[in-house]
Chains A and B, each alone.
Chain A
Amino acid sequence: AQTVTQSQPEMSVQEAETVTLSCTYDTSESDYYLFWYKQPPSRQMILVIRQEAYKQQNATENRFSVNFQKAAKSFSLKISDSQLGDAAMYFCAYRAHFGNEKLTFGTGTRLTIIP
């Protein structure tokens, strides 16, 4: 069974600085997707970024980028130039590529932005 582990329950960062959130996963599949979702106090889960396992290039979305290490089964999220609006719970998630809509989530990391 696939598992997703986020070992940092809480992180904090000064506004305008850079922070990295960690995620590791376990799977026997070779093709899959990885996601980072953000959950602000409004409670809606918002997709931040996604990575397809067959792509070697790390995904980027503006200030958000990932470090995808397939052999190590590691998928960290880097947030550059942190802003107050980045404060939220961040969830790492895994989904197999074929024939399976199920997302497996980690337990989340609460990110606090210090003004």
Chain B
Amino acid sequence: ETGVTQTPRHLVMGMTNKKSLKCEQHLGHNAMYWYKQSAKKPLELMFVYNFKEQTENNSVPSRFSPECPNSSHLFLHLHTLQPEDSALYLCASSPAAGIPFFGQGTRLTVV
């Protein structure tokens, strides 16, 4: 049990599909993050939410749309993705300015 749960674990989607990734944390943390992990590249921070407010958008294309309805849940809505968006998407949470705890990721394949 990680404390940060991501669903689904695997997702295959076509370029015209719309799908969503879900992240849930039960650690009482105030900050939540989306990271993208591609092969042979450093993890890339995509979005940061603090107390449900987006505090960082790291120049992410608009085909990725985050949503944070409360401090325990974070979504990443996906639409019209490209094959190069195939990657492992990791969610993390932390206390304010604290150490991030990660989920197990969603392996996304865009076909």
Contact = CB atoms under 8 A, between A and B. Distances in A.
A53 to B, nearest CB: 15
Interface residues of B, number: 25
Contact of A44 (B31, B43, B50, B105): B105
Contact of B94 (A99, A101, A107): A101
Interface string A79-115: 0000000000001000000011111111110000000
Given A42-B104, A43-B104, A4 B31 contact: no
A96 to B, nearest CB: 10
A92 B42 CA distance: 10
Interface of B: 2, 31, 33, 40-43, 45, 48, 50, 55-56, 88, 90, 92, 94, 97, 99-105, 107
A93 B48 CA distance: 17
A102 B45 contact: yes
A42 B101 CA distance: 15
A37 B43 CA distance: 12
Contact of B42 (A42, A99, A104): A104
Contacts of B101: 47
Given A44-B2, A45-B90, A103 B45 contact: yes
6 residue pairs, one from A and one from B, having the closest CB atoms = A45-B102, A105-B43, A105-B42, A44-B104, A43-B105, A43-B104
Given A35-B99, A44-B2, A91-B43, A102 B104 contact: no
